């Protein structure tokens, strides 16, 4: 797999997240791959060393607060008020699997 293919796959897998979050991660992992290659690793070795796309997505999903994912998905016609966000947090079950569902 080339670096570009890896980043494209990652981009696609993270598509539920806000755009700025996706770009930040792509920049981060691209830098990591470049640094390893600069040290002498091949493109394949560098990509293998930084973890699989699955691992990265798992870590991302666990860390993003639920409110951010919901806000991005729902995209209301007007800005959500604080109580509405609180309401959704209460109503939606918390947990990892739910976040994954929302990312689809």
Partner 1 sequence: MDIQLKRGLLDVCVLAAIKNEDSYGYRIIKDLKPYIELSESTLYTILKRLETADMLTVRTAEHGGRLRKYYRITEEGVRRIEEFKEDWKEIFSIYQFVIKEDGKND
Positions in the binding site for partner 1 (CB under 8 A): 25, 27-29, 31-32, 34-36, 38, 50-51, 55-56, 58-60, 63
| 69 touches 42 (CB < 8 A) | no
Q: Which is nearer to partner 1, 28 or 87 (CB)?
A: 28
Minimum separation from the CB atom of position 76 to partner 1 (A): 25
DSSP state letter for 16: T
Q: How far is the CB of 99 from partner 1 (least distance, A)?
A: 15
CA distances from 30 to 49, 50, 58 (A): 12, 10, 18
């Amino acid at each position: 797999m080339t670096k570009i293919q890896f980043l494209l796959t990652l981009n696609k897998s993270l598509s539920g997240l806000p755009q700025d979050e996706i770009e930040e991660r792509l920049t981060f992992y691209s830098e990591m791959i470049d640094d390893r290659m600069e040290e002498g690793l091949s493109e394949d070795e560098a990509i293998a060393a930084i973890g699989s796309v699955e691992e990265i997505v798992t870590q991302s999903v666990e860390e993003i607060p639920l409110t951010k994912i919901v806000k991005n998905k729902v995209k209301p016609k007007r800005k959500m008020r604080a109580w509405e966000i609180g309401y959704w947090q209460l109503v939606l079950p918390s947990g990892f699997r739910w976040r994954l569902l929302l990312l689809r």
